[in-house]
């Protein structure tokens, strides 16, 4: 299986523009043989907590129909970052589009304290997707909570994919954390980060892949958009620039 992570430069609060960009990345991923592509945290709006209440929607939003159409016709799984509206409040979500299946929502359970004024915890979702439910999803701060990766391992995850919006300093810490997760649980780990302005910080990029030994298998820069495609059989990485 070929798994892809995208490193994007989101346009602040501009869902139409970001949707067009997502489609471009998806086309590139498919051209490189990807079966799945995961985008950074809140990729469809940009990581903008103060705008989340205004921009929040549901997985069934008709503006996302294009992603389901692509998933169905091209046989690819797509995960986009979306602020989602629930009865409890606004969640940080990953909406997953899978061929011929209902849309799946993974909501961030472990929030950073800075996010608590804007979001609520996603308490009831599962982050296991893919064949045999073998791919575990994580959203940003969750990678810093040991119970998260431990639970993913206990549930049988063979791959761990983190969708993040990390600053320059934050991504350096994340690199160490994710390498440790990969080596501790002997599973490949992928991280999709963004670049450019986010909230009150500059995103640090350096989206990366670690093999099951915790070794860095591929990494993008801190300045350019692009993709990394990881082959789970060969554990090799194919870089791609937009």
Identify the CATH number of the domain in which residue 177 sits. Answer: 3.60.110.10
Structural domain total, the chain: 1
First to last CA, the chain: 22
- Give the whole-angstrom CA distance, residue 121 versus residue 96: 18
Strand order from edge to edge, sheet including 135-139: 128-129, 135-139, 159-163, 189-192, 208-210, 216-219
Residue 133 is predicted with a pLDDT of 64
Q: Report the interhelical angle of 65-74 vs 15-31 (nearest 10°).
A: 10
Q: Which residue has the higher pLDDT, 124 or 2?
A: 2
Give the pLDDT score at 242. 60
pLDDT tens digits along 106-135: 999 999 999 999 999 997 556 788 776 699
- Average pLDDT rounded to a whole number, residues 133-142: 93
| 81, containing H or E segment | strand 77-85
The pLDDT assigned to 132 comes to 67
Minimum mean pLDDT among 4-13, 77-86, 123-132, 227-236: which range? 123-132
Range of the domain at 178: 2-241
The whole-number average pLDDT for the span 193-207 is 96
Pairing of strands 237-241, 159-163: unpaired
Q: How far apart are CA 172 and CA 96, in angstroms?
A: 27
- Tell which residue, 160, 16, 2, 137, has the closest CA to residue 76: 2
Mean pLDDT of the 4-33 span: 97
């Amino acid at each position: 299986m070929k798994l892809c992570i995208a490193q994007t430069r989101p346009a602040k609060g501009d869902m139409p523009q970001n949707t067009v960009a997502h489609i471009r990345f998806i086309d590139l991923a498919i051209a490189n043989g990807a079966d799945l592509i995961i985008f950074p945290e809140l990729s469809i709006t940009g990581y903008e907590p103060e705008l989340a209440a205004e921009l929040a929607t549901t997985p069934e939003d008709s503006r996302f129909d294009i992603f389901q159409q692509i998933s169905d016709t091209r046989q690819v799984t797509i995960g986009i970052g979306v602020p989602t509206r629930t009865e409890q409040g606004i969640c940080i979500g990953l909406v997953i589009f899978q061929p011929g299946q209902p849309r799946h929502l993974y909501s961030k359970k472990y929030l950073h304290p800075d996010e608590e004024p804007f979001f609520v915890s996603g308490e009831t979702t599962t982050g296991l997707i893919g064949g045999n439910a073998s791919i575990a999803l994580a959203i940003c701060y969750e990678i810093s909570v040991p119970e998260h990766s431990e639970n993913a391992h206990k549930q049988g995850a063979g791959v761990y994919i983190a969708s993040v919006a990390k600053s320059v300093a934050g991504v350096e810490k994340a690199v160490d954390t994710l390498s440790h997760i990969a080596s501790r649980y002997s599973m490949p780990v992928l991280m999709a980060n963004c670049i450019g302005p986010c909230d009150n910080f500059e995103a640090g990029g350096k989206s990366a892949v670690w093999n099951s030994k915790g070794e860095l298998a591929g990494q993008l820069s801190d300045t350019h958009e692009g993709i990394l495609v990881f082959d789970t059989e060969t554990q090799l990485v194919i870089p791609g620039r937009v």
